[in-house]
Amino acid sequence: MVKSWIDALPKAGWLLGFALLSQTSFAGGPWTQPQGKGYFKLSEYWIVYDQHFTDAGVTDPNVTTGIFNTTLYAEYGIVDRWTATLNFPFLSRNYTNNVVSASTGEVLIPGEALNSIGDTDLGIKYGLNKPGSKLPMALSLVLGLPTGNPAAGTQGNLQTGDGEFNQVLQFDIGRSFDVGKKSSGYATAYAAFNHRTNGFSEEIRVGVESGVAVLDRDLWFILRLANWESLKNGQTAETITSTSIFANNQEFTSFTVEAAYYIKGGFGVSAAFGGAFRAEIVAAAPSFNVGLFYDMNH
């Protein structure tokens, strides 16, 4: 039986919304923060890859490339049903390895690194039905601001942003439930459209997510599945030199597994990793995320 499931909403809300893995949404699912309440997280995301999915969907090698983002994420209830979100990678590092000759041991192409801020996302979410609804729904607008560096290094391939302005309109729907007396769970789904500028193709994103809490709702396990499709209506390599995870016309079907644990009060830790079942023009390696969070609702 679903019992006072509304108690679980804040937890579900942040768990849904708070994922810095690239394939997850961070609009918080259909649950909004109560007025004056919020959720905050400091996290580290990283991916190191030496191969990528090509446009044919198979993997090809590339110079080993690493991306590390240290990010502040926040959700805050402005008023009931209206929640503001911020995703601010205030330190982003992108590097490539040296390419060394096996014959001579000489460095043929020196590695490079870029440290900068990343692209920042500002969002606003509106709950379409009243708090406590059995089937909450929400509409979100997220603006992806090109605050990162889109082209650094001698080849212009070091990036902490894509250099374009994203406008994501997203619809979320979900439901929470109790599992026995001390456990809770939720399931959500979303669909979004990403309008992009500077010749980047628009995207259609869909995803589902489910989480289950144990240990008196202090430990959560979450699974996310996402599918992003490019409309491929933008420019191509004929006019764009971008690469790495910010490349244009990316597509993927991915998963993310996350665990989050409330250590004391609203403070907790989380860890996640993700990967792709299939992809095009995307790094082919698992990504990781660890973080410290504070949940004002817990």
Residues that bind another protein (CB under 8 A): 44, 46, 48, 50, 52, 54-56, 58-64, 66, 68, 93, 95-104, 107-109, 111-113, 155-157, 236-238, 240-244, 247, 249, 280-281, 290
Cα–Cα nearest to 252, from 30, 47, 16, 88: 47
In Å, how far are 26, 33, 75 from 122, measured between CA atoms? Answer: 10, 16, 10
Amino acid identity, position 172 = D
**Smallest distance, another protein to C-beta of residue 198, A:** 14
Closer by beta carbon to another protein, 80 or else 229:
229
Residues 6 or more apart from 180 whose CB is under 8 A from it? none
Is the Cβ–Cβ distance between 222 and 15 less than 8 Å? yes
Closer by beta carbon to another protein, 131 or else 153:
153
Closer by beta carbon to another protein, 155 or else 233:
155
**Smallest distance, another protein to C-beta of residue 244, A:** 7
In the structure encoding, which two tokens stand for residue 207, read together? 């995803």
**Smallest distance, another protein to C-beta of residue 260, A:** 17
Which helix (H) or strand (E) is 15 found in, with range?
helix 9-17
Is the Cβ–Cβ distance between 85 and 26 less than 8 Å? yes
Closer by beta carbon to another protein, 66 or else 131:
66
Dist CA 219 CA 221 (whole Å): 7
Closer by beta carbon to another protein, 80 or else 112:
112
**Smallest distance, another protein to C-beta of residue 82, A:** 36
**Smallest distance, another protein to C-beta of residue 88, A:** 19
